[in-house]
A and B are shown apart, each in its own frame.
Chain A
């Protein structure tokens, strides 16, 4: 199959997935309400009636990274629904290469992660006045983070045999990652050995990088980007391997 045709197949699969997700208004609203709720709840920390400005600048980058994680993984979970509802078979029966299917699914996951994160970024900036020094770096980090979370979502979707199992597996990863990824508490303040655990999670690097961009500390962003890139390649390769096994068995 010609590379351009394969790429177009991937784009159409991604477009179709996103169209499905955005058609379900409730789906979009619910998935965004959770990070918005977390952002407002934690902004009024420790009973302070007015939002703590210093804490807000700490919190918003973490919430944005966390939203990318929820958006990407949620979107990739559609693979499990597709398998259960037989929709995956519809694509498998068509003259489409396995690579196109994987690329398409990865694209839709990453796009959803980026869109969700941007919505939270806009809300955070508008309400709490948080601003970032370099928006192109912000976009790069959100994109890399979304791809790495999509890879994790693909692995879960490949391993889970049904949606309930996928939800459990994803919560098993997402919630510890949310609390250990430096979103609400600084990694440095965590008791041993939790900082080591935090350093194994992609969310930690995404959060750290976004915070560094916020305060203009660009040097650390490069290292974090490299780690996220490494995560992206690793998780997507592993996820693809698992999905490929299902598709070509």
Chain B
């Protein structure tokens, strides 16, 4: 591909991208591409390396190894060209709290080189689009979380980027605000924009992304469409049970996990979810086991394997668990602060 030409197929191409923070390997030879006009989801638990990956793609962090090409520009060689074509929605709403929405957008417009007339037009446009016009002159620090998020997305769109990079776009939002952000994401994609989003929420990746890359410990484990990933659980069944009058459903997990023909067992929304290849054996086995341990089953149902089931099947662990170790947290904090 000739540098600077708009790519025909891929908006982002990442090859063998690697990042070390001191001795900590944060991103390990990650390769994927975001196709033009596609929503690509990078899914993984907190601390998996998602943010580091997108910071490298956006030219904010230098890769230790590997390349990222955005809209035909290599980020290591032409970071400013890459930055002009990307709109970044960070995981926190990093706006200037003392300033109004209009002044925040005005500042971003200036940094992206928009002239006064274009700035005014675009600001009016995004304020209208994100329903922020009425409060446009209020200091941003008085906004709700949902409004903050909308303004953060608006600020990322002020220069009309070809590619939108969204880091945990619905993190910390209530259900209604999260749904609105998801709808906005889909609309922006329908306008023809490629979107790279990171999330630790499996259902979000499932609902939004046309293709998903699952990342853990800096390593890309799988890369496919959500449907194809779910198909990897072919032959697998998901059984959901709830124990009657049991406050601590979690305590049944080690009991059930020892049973023969149980592939995996974990807690989802207060229910015990059991993955198994043999449905005819697993149902009586679980019923007997619960009975033997003095419990009664309140509810039992068989469900279609989800993306989360596939994730657990592939990685052997739940996305929701896996907190960072103290050492890993400290290393990352030091690395971010620039002290190492």
Contact = CB atoms under 8 A, between A and B. Distances in A.
B334 A161 contact: yes
Given A94-B108, A161-B333, A162-B337, A86 B94 contact: yes
Nearest to B83: A95
B88 A19 contact: no
Contacts of B333: 161
B139 interface: yes
Contacts of B96: 16, 20, 87
A92 B60 contact: yes
Interface in B75-103: 80-81, 83-84, 86, 88, 90, 92, 94-99, 103
A54 interface: no
User: A86, A158, A162 — which one has the most chain B CB atoms within 10 A of its CB?
Assistant: A86
Interface in A1-54: 1, 5, 8-9, 12, 16, 19-20, 23-24
A49 B99 CA distance: 45
Interface string A75-107: 000000001011101111111110000000000
A87 B148 CA distance: 13
Nearest to B82: A95
User: A91, A94, A158, A160 — which one has the most chain B CB atoms within 10 A of its CB?
Assistant: A94
Contacts of B110: 8, 12
A246 interface: yes
A20 B83 contact: no
Given A91-B111, A162-B337, A97 B60 contact: no
A248 interface: yes
Interface residues of B, number: 34
Contacts of B25: none
B80 A1 contact: yes
Contacts, number: 79
Contact of A86 (B86, B90, B103, B111): B90
User: B58, B96, B139 — which one has the most chain A CB atoms within 10 A of its CB?
Assistant: B96
Interface residues of A, number: 33
Nearest to A23: B98
Interface in A219-249: 242, 245-246, 248-249
Contact of A83 (B62, B88, B337): B337
Interface of B: 58-62, 80-81, 83-84, 86, 88, 90, 92, 94-99, 103, 107-108, 110-113, 139, 155, 333-334, 336-339
26 contacts: A8-B110, A9-B111, A12-B111, A16-B107, A19-B98, A20-B96, A23-B98, A86-B92, A89-B60, A89-B88, A90-B90, A90-B95, A93-B59, A93-B83, A93-B86, A94-B83, A94-B108, A94-B111, A95-B84, A95-B111, A96-B111, A97-B80, A160-B337, A161-B333, A161-B337, A242-B338
**4 pairs of A and B residues whose beta carbons are closest in the complex:** A161-B337, A246-B338, A86-B94, A23-B98
